[in-house]
Structure formats: C-alpha cells, structure tokens
Copies of this chain bind each other. A is one copy, B any other.
Amino acid sequence: MTQVSILIFDIFGTVVDWHGSIVREVSALYPQVDADAFALAWRGGYQPAMQRVRSGELGWTRIDDLHRMILDQILPRFGLEHLSEVERAHLNRVWHRLDAWPDSVAGLTRLKQRFTISSLSNGNIGLLTNMAKRAGLPWDCVLSAEVFRAYKPDPRTYLGVAEVFDVTPGEVMLVAAHQDDLAAARACGLATAYIERPFEFGQAHPKDVSPDAANTWHARDLQHLADQLGC
C-alpha cells in the first residue's frame, strides 16, 4: 500500500457550512426572504455555471464571478432586485465568510501534525484565503481550481496536486462530502475519504450519507477521520 502524505480537502460542504452561513447572513440582512430557499437557489446555480465554462461557452472564470452572475439572476425571484451594486458585492462575499463545521478546525489541526493539508476547491484562491483567515483553517497550502485553470472533477486538478508536490497520485488523498468528487479522484489513482455531512443542505433537507465501499475511509467528521488515521 502506498503511504498517503498529502491530504486535500473539498471545501464547500465538507469543511465549511455554506447553507447555514448563507441562511445566517441573509436572515439578518433581509428578514423578509426565505433564506433556506435563497441559499439552495444560489448553490443550485453553481454546477450549471461551471458547466458553461467547461463547455467553452464562457472563458476561464473565477467562482467569485460565477457566484455574482448567479446572484444577479436569482435576486428578482426573492424580491431583491432593488439591491445596489455595493449591497450585491457585499452579499456575494458571503462565500468568503462561511463558517467552518464545529469539528473542522480541531480535526484539521490534528491531521496537520502528520500530513500536509491543503484545500482543493473550485473556489478561487482569494476566497479560500479570506475564508481560512476568518475561520482559522490551518492550511499548509491553498490550492484551487484557479491554479490549474480547470474545475473539479477535471483530472488536471487531482493530478495537478500530485505534480505540485512531486508525489504519485496514490500518495494523495481527497477528503470530501461528495461521492462524485471522490469517484473522479479515485479514477486518477488518489485515495479517498468520505465525510458525512447529512445537513449540508440544511436541517430540513437531510442527504444520503451511506458509505461507498470504494472509498479508503468513511468518517462522520474530520475529528473522526483524525481518529481513524491515528492522529
């Protein structure tokens, strides 16, 4: 068995709670809005927007700019079409202010003692850096789709990490709460760890967190992963 030395982490949903954080900010700013539906609509535009870049319809675009395009689209649906440029820009930066899940900082801190830990997110570097600084995420390195100019699940992202650290793909493990991300990483030869985040989409929308035997590890949260890896 190859020895894993590099852990890379999906961010939105795996390390931070995007749904709860957006609900928190939107509820505070615009109490008349259905914040749960707003968060789901915003996130719902994410994969289709990236698909426009993957297909070549749009050139390379950072997630900050995709988030803003989706935001502008959904505001009228929630009666917020009157928001000014300053208000839209501020709201769009909520993705830089997402809260970590309660176990994330302690879990990452333990894992960092034995492994090199890095993000591997479709979020852009500036977003990930601002988020980490605010939430106290102790990355050794901030890697993003922006470095590789390709979004996950493009193999260039997973294999790009192995190249950056000059290791074989089997020495890298992706940690994520999404089976499709993990499957794509596994197809590139990476080890994989699934993290249950049953309430990623909010308490009202629990998701299936059944194990997939194809993953190397299955953990309730990042503390539980650190337990299993002996950190």
Q: Is A85 an interface residue (CB 8 A)?
A: no
Determine if A133 is an interface residue (Cβ-Cβ < 8 Å).
yes
Q: How many copies does the complex hold?
A: 2
Q: How far is the CB of A157 from chain B (nearest CB, A)?
A: 14
Q: A141-B142, A142-B141 are in contact. Are A166 and B126 (CB under 8 A)?
A: yes
Is the contact region of chain A dominated by helix, strand, or loop, or is it mixed? helix
Size of the A side of the interface (Cβ < 8 Å), in residues, is: 20
Whole-angstrom distance between the Cβ of A133 and the nearest chain B Cβ: 5
* Closest partner residue, chain B, to A96 (CB atom): B166
The CA-CA distance from A132 to B143 in the complex, in Å, is 15
A101 to B125, CA, bound (A): 28
Q: Does A124 contact B (CB under 8 A)?
A: yes
Is B164 in contact with A126, judged by CB distance below 8 angstroms? yes
Of A118, A125, A128, the most chain B CB neighbours within 10 A belong to A125
| A184 CB → nearest B CB, Å | 22
Residue of chain B at shortest CB distance from A142: B141
Pick the 8 closest A-B CB pairs, nearest first.
Answer: A129-B141, A126-B165, A141-B142, A125-B164, A126-B164, A133-B140, A129-B140, A126-B166
List 20 A-B residue pairs with CB atoms under 8 Å apart, sorted by A's residue number.
A64-B166, A116-B129, A116-B130, A116-B133, A118-B129, A125-B141, A125-B143, A125-B147, A125-B164, A126-B164, A126-B165, A126-B166, A128-B141, A129-B140, A129-B141, A132-B140, A141-B142, A142-B142, A146-B164, A147-B147
